[in-house]
Structure 1
Amino acid sequence: MLFRLLYPLVVRVFGWSVLLTRGCASKEVEILVLRHEVAVLRRQVARPRPNWADQALLAALARRLPARLRLHRIVTPGTLLAWHRGLVKKKWTYPVKQGRPSIAEEIRV
């Protein structure tokens, strides 16, 4: 019983001590990222599908967060890489030609 009460208290105190040692800019960037994530999640009921503007903003702000904080956001480094792969895939795709290639007239005779 005492452990159930003491453990959350100790975790909270350590969390506050970590916040005290971080810089102001890091805290402000984290707040901006969290606010934008909440805005994206409020617009959607199921799986979050941010539009290109959301992706750009979250990608830019996520770079300013410390590495250990980036792992717990909806925009992880893996998510950023997937977005970039999708952009490259859209930009550099070639049309697929269906069927056999045509045969020259002199060969068809």
Structure 2
Amino acid sequence: MTCKMIILSPRKEGLTHEECIEYLEQEHVSLVEELPGLKRFTTSIPFDPERIGYPLDPDGTRFDVMAKLQFESLDDLQAAFDSEPGQAVLRDAQNFVDVDGGVMIAIDDETLRHQTIPADL
């Protein structure tokens, strides 16, 4: 069984979407990769909500970054963020995302349920 941390974050006030992503890619990713026990790390970049002209999600929340971190267990995840590299990741996040405006969700396993949608809908 694995433990995953899903993170959705809006950009820090004063940054553009592009500046936020540039900081993520050029500065932050290398710090995350140093987390002890990290098994897998992926990021997804939503379209810039302002470029599209409307919020992508129904409640109007604007997320600029989505990240998924995978560890062997919840204990490993906690230990990673309690470590010095983990503390550096948390401190650095404040440089490009609105930490208070984000969402972090820890899940212990992924359960996929599929439902076939008729082609005529």
TM-score relative to the length of structure 2: 0.29
Higher share in helix: 1
Higher RCO (Cα < 8 Å, 6 or more apart)? 2
